Amino acid sequence: MNGPFSGKLAILGMGYIGLPTAVALATRGVEVIGVDINRDVVAAISRGEVPFVEPDLAISVSGAVAMGRLTATTETPEADAYIIAVPTPFNDDRTADLSFVQAAAEQIAPKLRSGNIVVLESTSPPGTTEKVAQWIGAIRSDLRMPRDVEPNPDIFVAHCPERVLPGRIMIEMITNDRVVGGLTPRCAEHAASIYRVFAQGEILLTDAASAEMAKLVENAYRDVNIAFANELSLICESLHIDVWEVIRLANRHPRVNILSPGPGVGGHCIPVDPWFIVSAAPLLSPLIRTAREVNDRRPHHVAEQVVSKAQRFRSPTIVCLGLTFKANVDDIRESPAIEVVGLIAKALPDVDVLVCDPYVDRVPPLLSGYANIRLANAHEAVEGADIVVLLVEHEPYKSMRHTRLGGKVSYDTRGVWR
Ligand code: SAJ
């Protein structure tokens, strides 16, 4: 068993996962170099600043940079270990777009020396870690790559999927169990030494494909469960039963834990990852596919409800509270709230749609084409609203007093104003 890693470590991708991982390692004594193609991100980190909102991250970044343990650059340096934490979006046909992972592997390849460790953290379909080794091998035929038949490879390649929850990244980064899947058992051992530096949870060693699949399964599991809640919401709505009350009661059963319906499923992970499973086994995944479709349909349903409420007014003002993909984060990627707002604005081009979000300071690009959408201050907007739609349960909206909503039509998609 290897002890905790000590040495120089480069992380490619300074986003929501790469940067917190860099900080977790740097504040525990590892020399970390953060690599990103975006110069603004590199400049922000170099100043000790965080380019996005995540609780408790800013103080750790400024500390790690001030201590000289964390630096940032656009060039991939020589190091003892590399972590790839770049995005894996999907293509139009919903297969994984591995171009960022491939580019990262090809940037690392020329720098590799014997004994180096390469860890893929990006969420990836089964077989991607193997591909990383192949992409590196294609450039560095001089290196012995890890294979079952190769007892002494020059480099060690593994997958260690990130599992942290946005909004709780700094806590979960440390406390979550980690799955480390190696191309060989020795690869897993070497990669695990990096996570031993900071992980308080258990480090579970396995093979690379199992680690890749486990990560996809975790997010598909959540997606299916949210779809169940969203389907219940539709059913209860049609039967004039309060779905929140039903869930509250059902969840008092010791083995039932139904999640919350909402305006849809957003973020860069849950709406994407289940498709990697579906594209790997299309005929065997009807449940996972259907869950995706149920959740993708949600923003349309919510928008249709708002549009039908608007028919009661001659010239209503609609206020939508929340634009991010979930509460208390500033991330708007794949946000169902943005989709809902766009659908309402499109269906009602003559109606003013005011949007509010404490974490968003300009109309998101996806909505900038609608002349009837305006960013507003929640306090004032609600005051003059006819219809108030709660799309994201940010703290200030959760506690919005019922008296402020009196006389208005309110539509709470998150079940917090009950
Ligand atoms: N949502 C609901 N109802 C719920 C829970 C969530 O509608 O009961 C919605 C949220 O509003 C949001 C979306 O689902 O739009 C996803 O939010 P989330 O909090 O469930 O998950 P993420 O995307 O922030 O993070 C997930 C986590 N995965 C699991 O919980 C299995 C996290 O641990 C992963 O690290 C992350 O994906 C990732 O990066 O893969």
Contact 346, 370 (CB under 8 A): yes
Measured N-to-C along each axis, helices 128-139 and 208-239 cross at an angle, to the nearest 10 degrees, of 140
Residue nearest to atom 27 of ligand 1 (CA): 165
Residue nearest to atom 7 of ligand 1 (CA): 262
- Give ligand 1 pocket residues (Cβ under 6 A): 123, 162-166, 218-219, 222, 226, 259-260, 262, 265-267, 269-270, 325-326, 336
The pLDDT tens digits of the residues spanning 134-193 come to 999 999 999 999 986 777 899 999 999 999 999 999 999 999 999 999 999 999 999 999
Write a three-state SS string for 14-62.
CCCCHHHHHHHHHCCCCEEEEECCCHHHHHHHHCCCCCCCCCCHHHHHH
Q: How many whole angstroms separate alpha carbon 172 and alpha carbon 339?
A: 29
Distance (Å) from CA 397 to ligand 1 centroid: 20
Stretch (H or E) spanning 317: strand 317-321
Which of these, 134, 192, 114, lies nearest to 159 by C-alpha position? Answer: 192
Distance (Å) from CA 165 to ligand 1 centroid: 7
3 state SS of 221: helix
Distance (Å) from CA 270 to ligand 1 centroid: 6
Distance (Å) from CA 296 to ligand 1 centroid: 14
Please give the backbone phi and psi of residue 24, each rounded to the nearest 5 degrees, phi first.
-60, -40
Q: Which amino acids are annotated catalytic? A: 215, 269
Pocket test for ligand 1, best of 121, 124, 219 (most atoms within 8 A of CB): 219
Q: Which atom of ligand 1 is nearest to the CA of 335?
A: 15
Stretch (H or E) spanning 131: helix 128-139
- Number of neighbouring beta carbons within 10 Å of residue 370: 16
User: Which distant-in-sequence residues (6+ apart) come within 8 Å of 178 by Cβ?
Assistant: 160, 163, 192, 195, 199, 201, 202, 203, 204
- Number of neighbouring beta carbons within 10 Å of residue 383: 11
Q: How many whole angstroms separate alpha carbon 20 and alpha carbon 106?
A: 24
Distance (Å) from CA 104 to ligand 1 centroid: 26
Burial 2-28 (b: 16+ CB within 10 A, else e): eebbeeebbbbbbbbbbbbbbbbbbbb
Pocket test for ligand 1, best of 326, 394, 413 (most atoms within 8 A of CB): 326
Q: How many whole angstroms separate alpha carbon 182 and alpha carbon 163?
A: 17
Can you give the pLDDT of all 418 residues of the chain as single tens digits? 568 999 999 999 999 999 999 999 999 999 999 999 999 999 999 999 998 888 899 999 999 999 999 999 999 999 999 999 999 998 999 899 999 999 999 999 999 999 999 999 999 999 999 999 999 999 999 999 998 677 789 999 999 999 999 999 999 999 999 999 999 999 999 999 999 999 999 999 999 999 999 999 999 999 999 999 999 999 999 999 999 999 999 999 999 999 999 999 999 899 999 999 999 999 999 999 999 999 999 999 999 999 999 999 999 999 999 999 999 999 999 999 999 999 999 999 999 999 999 999 999 999 999 999 999 999 999 999 999 999 999 999 988 877 788 889 999 999 999 8
